[in-house]
Structures are given as C-alpha cells and as structure tokens.
Amino acid sequence: MLNNLVRKFSIFDIIIIALMATLGIATKPVIVPLAHIITGPLYIPGGAIAGGLYMMWIVLGTGLIGRAGVATLTSTVQAIMVVSLGIYGTHGIVSFLTYILPGLAVDLYVLISRPKRFKIGHFFISGILANISGTFLVNVVFFRLPMVPLILTLAAAAFSGGIGGLIAHGIVQKLKNNQVLENLYRRDVNE
C-alpha cells in the first residue's frame, strides 16, 4: 500500500516530503522548551501550543505539493526517524500513532475538500486538524486530562494549529512571489 502511494509522487515531491519531515523533527526540540515557558504556569501541555509550529511543516508540504497523501507520508517519515533514532521524546513505538494521526487527519481533509489549489482557508483548517488530532491522541495515550482541561488544551491546540497553518500559507506565498515555485506550479498545470 505504501509503495503504491509513493509511486504517485515525483522525485521532487519525495524530496519536499523528506525535507518537511526533517524540518518538523529538527524544530521540535527548539520550539517545545520555548512553549513550556508560556504553558507551564498555565498548566497547559506544551505540545498543544508548540504543535502548531512543528506541525506546520506537514501542512506546508501538503500546500506545496497539493495532493492527498503528502501529510501521511511526511508524518510517517517523522515517526520512523523518531522511533529508529530516538531523536525526540520517550514515547517509543507509540510515536508511530501519535505522529501519523495528524498526517492522516490533514489528508482526510484534503480528500474530502478536494481543493484544486491550497488557499489560506485550507492551510488554516489543515493546521487546526493536525494539531488537534495530535494533541487529542497524546492526551488519550499519556495525559488523560479531565474534560474541562482537555477542552481548554484542544482550544489552545486549535489556535496554535491555525497560526501554524497561516504561517505555512505565508511561506508558500513568499516562495510564489519570488518565483521559487514557478516550475512546481507549471508542472501541475501540465499534468
């Protein structure tokens, strides 16, 4: 199944997916401690706020390539890196679930909405879905917060995820304005 999914992408797409996965993993150790400074006194899990910024890379990859499957592949690569290298976190094999679910949520949204081109609303909603699904699953598996703190945490995750989606949109717009993505978009028109 994964082999069939990968065959639908060009080498350039695979490079973008690998780059987004790597940037997501590389930024997490920097962003999470900074988020803990804000969330610690408020008793909000830091990943709920930080997640919007490191899950932004999943949304950015999906927005750049514009196809279903990108987010799942990106999050799968992240899960493999985390589990095999022990880069970040101590969740062990459960990381496969907690990392892949946000990608699946974004891809499900892409399949349902079928955008011809990712617009600002698609980035915003994708960021929210990625961060809420990841935050919710981590809560179910590890934290098991009571209902009211869980709702507050998910609200913070939605806010942070939306901001991450907007940042991803801004990056794509900058790349477009500087004609960095000209060949990528020209290729989409010819397909």
Taking only the tens place, the pLDDT of each residue in 19-56 is 999 999 888 888 888 888 887 777 777 778 888 888 99
What DSSP character marks residue 103? H
Taking only the tens place, the pLDDT of each residue in 91-143 is 777 888 888 999 999 999 999 988 778 889 999 999 999 999 998 988 888 87
For residues 80 and 95, the answer to whether their CB atoms sit within 8 Å is no
Q: Is 37 part of a structural domain of the chain? A: no
Q: Is 38 part of a structural domain of the chain? A: no
Domain count, the chain: 1
CATH assignment of the domain containing 178: 1.10.1760.20
Q: Is 108 part of a structural domain of the chain? A: yes
Q: Which residue segment(s) compose the domain that 161 sits in?
A: 2-32+43-190
For residues 29 and 39, the answer to whether their CB atoms sit within 8 Å is no
**64-76 CB burial, b ≥16 within 10 A, e <16:** bbbebbbbbbbbb
Greater model confidence, 125 or 90 = 125
Side-chain-side CA neighbours of 83 within 13 Å: the count stands at 15
Structure tokens at 25: 């993993």
Closest CA to 47 of 122, 140, 153: 153
Find the farthest-apart pair of alpha carbons in the chain and give their distance in angstroms, rounded.
53
Give the pTM.
Answer: 0.84
Structure tokens at 77: 């690569």
Q: Is 154 part of a structural domain of the chain? A: yes
Cα 70 from chain centre: 10
